[in-house]
Amino acid sequence: MLTTKFTETFGVRHPIVQGGMQWVGRAELVAAVANSGALGMLTALTQPTPEALAKEIARTRDLTDQPFGVNLTILPSITPPPYDEYRQVIIDAGIKIVETAGSNPGPHLPQFHAAGIKVLHKCTSVRHAVKAQELGVDGISIDGFECAGHPGEDDIPGLVLIAAAAEKITIPMVASGGFGDARGLVAALALGADGINMGTRFMCTEESPIHQNIKEAIVAAKETDTELIFRPLRNTARVASNAVSREVVQILNDGGQFPDVQELVSGARGRTVYENGDPEAGIWSVGTVQGIIHDIPSAGDLVERIVTEAKDIIQSRLGDMLERVSV
């Protein structure tokens, strides 16, 4: 066992989180992660309505009796989803862990805390992590520039971001972005984190509810095969490199605005990638860590492998170095 402030506070066996993933964070994957002893997150907004989220929570409970959480991604939008109703479903279902992301978790904290829910807030900068800690969240997940999805606009990779955050954060902190194996977990712990959060690596597991072609595309891809879209709009997202994402980058670099790429980046189109297995069909999130993903294990085998190898690295590889130094 690797016991950390994170495992103790959030009541899970292993210091590993499967972060919220639009279209991917569904019952099958979340339950498999929970059964492995790590912390899985259903993704609230993958469900079209709050009622559908209630059903997905029930479906997950049919597959596991272990703790799992729900991700609530709060993004600025012209037509926002009914966040308060999703929040109420989470509370009414008796969920005890929530991952917030996207913007200030403050408006939701009193209700979550009144219901005894622990909030893990995911952010991409030290200043936002400090702000969330001051607001009273129970844990921080800090996402470096390597990550899939939204890395923010500061472009600070994990090696510095995690260490810088560790200097300011006193509550449990999980390092995110670019983690996929035991080497990453040990590095994160060495930098001052209490665990790791992974998205891309969990996408590429047997239980991940996406087309096999996409899992194989991730295994085949290199760390350089991602694009940063929406940079000129200051809403950067890291996605798989394909003809669609490269066209989006080109249009925006040439001075185009969001309406010029709206059809190319539509969520519905991205969703067909996972359903039909054509990696060129639209925009889909993936991180640079794909360059070190070489297989498609079950989520349980993955977590077991990471924890076992991490202990081996700490005890044998690093321990041996210590022995040699002290001789």
Site residues, ligand FMN (CB under 6 A): 19-22, 24, 43, 71, 73, 101, 122, 143, 146-149, 176-179, 197-201, 203, 285-287, 289
Q: Closer CB to ligand FMN, residue 2 or residue 203?
A: 203
| Separation between Cα atoms, residue 317 and residue 6, nearest integer Å | 24
The distance of closest approach from Cβ of residue 236 to ligand FMN in the complex, given in angstroms and rounded to an integer, is 13
Helix/strand/coil for 280: coil
Select from 209, 184, 207, 220 the least CA-distant residue to 294.
220
Quick one: tokens of 111? 């209700």
Measured from the CB atom, the residue of 128 and 201 that comes closer to ligand FMN is 201
Q: Which of residues 17 and 254 has its CB atom nearest to ligand FMN in the complex?
A: 17
Name the one residue in this structure whose structure tokens are 């290199």.
Answer: 222
> Could you tell me the two tokens for 47?
């469900």
- Distance of closest approach, residue 200 Cβ to ligand FMN, in angstroms: 3
**In this complex, which beta carbon is closest to ligand FMN, that of residue 235 or of residue 256?**
235
Tell the smallest beta-carbon distance from residue 271 to ligand FMN (Å): 10
Nearer residue to ligand FMN within complex by CB, 26 or 166: 26
Nearest-angstrom CA–CA distance, 237 and 149: 5
CB 317, min distance to ligand FMN, A: 23
| Smallest separation, CB 256 to ligand FMN (Å) | 24
From the CB of 255, what's the least distance to ligand FMN, in Å? Answer: 28
Closest residue to ligand FMN: CB criterion: 199
**Least Å distance between CB 93 and ligand FMN?**
19
Q: Which residues, in sequence order, are CB contacts of 261 under 8 Å at separation 6+?
A: 229, 247, 248, 251, 252
Among residues 7 and 43, whose Cβ is nearest to ligand FMN? 43
d(CA 153, CA 162): 16
**Sign of CA pseudo-dihedral 20, 196, 240, 157:** positive
Q: Which is nearer to ligand FMN, 147 or 249 (CB)?
A: 147
C-alpha to C-alpha distance for 135 and 116, rounded to whole angstroms:
16
